[in-house]
């Protein structure tokens, strides 16, 4: 069997894998990426957060994305809008507590991810599309993957270190038995791309993602992510029993477009926004996507982005966490490969999880209803709103933001005040 070697092996050429490769190439390392799919390929997670811009620039990728904005119909994004019946509210990400960019784009991930991957190639990374990992060895002195190429022929490749950026594929967690069940309820996402037909509507701003709470069941919500060409990504997220209520007797479980249309029709406010929409793309489904792992690193390897942990799509945190993890991991890996001591627990896992836990607090509060009550409160304190806007813009690792500290407790307190009266400031 053919046996090869490189400096760093990466599984997956999505945002975390491609950005990690670019950061490594900046430092002169040989990089090989094993990617099972052939790009461009469809993916959800199209609404970037402004914090992403910092990491894209660090990896030398921002200009390449910016150069393709018009050609790819990436949509300028400056915030998030929320809709629940007759209630609306918006967060402008340029009005936030944290320093850093306040705008970004909403992107077709097939095109966006391909831009990043091609840039990694141009910078010298060896990306092998259509190659599949079939065995993993991290116990030897050098980690080694057994890979099957497009012709079905196996070969082995070893490296000084292995990074798993496989996203929902979660290659190392599965091979190394690192997964354990998420404590989030099992949820399902049904999604597609549509011609949205929106010319003008008071509840819709093309520069913002629109998150709509189902009027009759506040556990369920819809995303509407507009692109610059009059099309949008449209999805519905809820627990499986919610979808079952809309299934017709003896209906084919794979007939998702009629199901999606019925659920949309049951929300008057969003139906009005999308009254002229055309469904012209197959509808897809993803079930039980939330996942946890026992650890984000081990002997000879580290997990990046969704390969380590995925929360929920509600606040579009996935790409931000992916790029943040790459930024942190490569800085440490560079030190390690130069012979310096690195503590992956205290320097990588714990600080990365700290920001993820802030996102988690908001996700949990959203489904419990507390954060919904904050969002739709008629009593909005501007200082607190700017702190929340920072989190929604992706700045979950900003320790200066009071709303990022003791997030669970502060959100509960804030929700209680919003139901009664707003605090003057969160100073404790």
> Are 93 and 62 a contacting pair, CB within 8 Å?
no
Q: Are residues 13 and 54 in the same domain?
A: yes
Q: Are residues 217 and 277 in the same domain?
A: yes
Task: Report the alpha-carbon distance of residue 413 to residue 372 in Å, rounded.
Answer: 13
Residue 98 lies in a domain: no
Give residue 427's pLDDT.
45
Residue 340 lies in a domain: yes
Q: Which residues contact 152 (CB under 8 A, 6 or more apart)?
A: none
pTM of the shown model? 0.95
Note down the domain range covering 273. 188-286
> Are 247 and 259 a contacting pair, CB within 8 Å?
yes
> Are 324 and 53 a contacting pair, CB within 8 Å?
no
How is residue 303 written in tokens?
Answer: 């997990």
Neighbours of 201 (CB within 10 A): 15
Q: Are residues 58 and 176 in the same domain?
A: yes
Q: Are residues 118 and 45 in the same domain?
A: yes
Ranges under pLDDT 50 in the chain: 422-428
Q: Are residues 242 and 110 in the same domain?
A: no
Contacts 24+ apart (CB under 8 A), 291-295: 291/170, 291/173, 291/179, 291/182, 292/179, 292/180, 292/181, 292/182, 292/183, 293/173, 293/178, 293/179, 293/180, 294/178, 294/179, 294/180, 295/178, 295/349
Q: Number of structural domains, the chain?
A: 3
Q: Are residues 397 and 373 in the same domain?
A: yes
Residue 359 lies in a domain: no
Q: Are residues 274 and 348 in the same domain?
A: no
Residue 87 lies in a domain: no
Over residues 373-425, the pLDDT tens digits come to 999 998 888 999 999 999 999 999 999 999 999 999 999 999 998 887 544 44
Give residue 421's pLDDT.
55
Give residue 291's pLDDT.
74
Q: What is the CATH number of the domain that holds 300?
A: 3.50.50.60
Residue 96 lies in a domain: no
């Amino acid at each position: 069997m053919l046996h090869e070697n490189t400096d760093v092996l990466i599984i997956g050429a999505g945002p975390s894998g491609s950005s990690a490769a670019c950061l490594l190439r900046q430092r002169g390392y040989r990089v090989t990426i094993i990617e099972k799919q052939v790009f461009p390929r469809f993916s959800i997670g199209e609404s970037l957060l402004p914090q992403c811009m910092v990491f894209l620039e660090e990896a030398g990728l921002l200009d390449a994305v910016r150069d393709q904005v018009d050609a790819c119909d990436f949509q300028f994004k400056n915030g998030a809008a929320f809709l629940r019946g007759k209630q609306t509210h918006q967060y402008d990400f340029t009005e936030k507590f944290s320093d850093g960019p306040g705008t970004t784009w909403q992107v077709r991930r097939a095109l966006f991810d391909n831009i990043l991957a091609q840039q990694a190639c141009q910078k010298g990374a060896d990306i092998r599309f259509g190659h599949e990992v079939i065995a993993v060895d991290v116990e030897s002195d050098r980690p080694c993957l057994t890979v099957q190429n497009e012709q079905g022929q196996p070969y082995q490749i070893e490296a000084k270190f292995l990074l798993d950026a496989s996203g929902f594929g979660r290659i190392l967690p599965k091979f190394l038995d690192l997964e354990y069940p998420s404590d989030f309820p099992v949820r399902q996402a049904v999604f597609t791309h549509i011609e949205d037909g929106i010319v003008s509507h008071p509840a819709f701003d093309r520069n913002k993602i629109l998150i709509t709470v189902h009027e009759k069941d506040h556990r369920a919500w819809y995303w509407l992510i507009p692109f610059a060409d009059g099309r949008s990504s449209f999805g519905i997220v809820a627990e499986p029993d919610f979808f079952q209520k809309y299934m017709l007797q003896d209906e084919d479980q794979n007939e998702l477009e009629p199901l999606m249309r019925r659920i949309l029709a049951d929300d008057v406010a969003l139906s009005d926004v999308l009254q002229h929409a055309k469904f012209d793309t197959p509808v897809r489904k993803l079930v039980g996507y939330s996942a946890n792992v026992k650890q984000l690193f081990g002997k000879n390897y580290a997990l990046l982005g969704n390969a380590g942990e995925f929360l929920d799509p509600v606040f579009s945190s996935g790409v931000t966490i992916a790029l943040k993890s790459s930024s942190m991991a490569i800085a440490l890996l560079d030190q390690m490969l130069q012979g310096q001591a690195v503590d992956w627990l205290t320097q990588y896992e714990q600080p990365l999880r700290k920001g993820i836990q802030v996102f988690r607090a908001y996700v949990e509060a959203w489904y419990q209803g507390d954060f919904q009550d904050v969002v739709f409160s008629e009593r909005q304190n501007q200082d607190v709103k700017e702190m929340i806007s920072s989190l929604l813009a992706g700045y979950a690792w900003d320790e200066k933001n009071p709303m990022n500290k003791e997030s669970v407790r502060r959100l509960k307190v804030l929700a209680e005040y919003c139901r009664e009266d707003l605090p003057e400031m969160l100073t404790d």
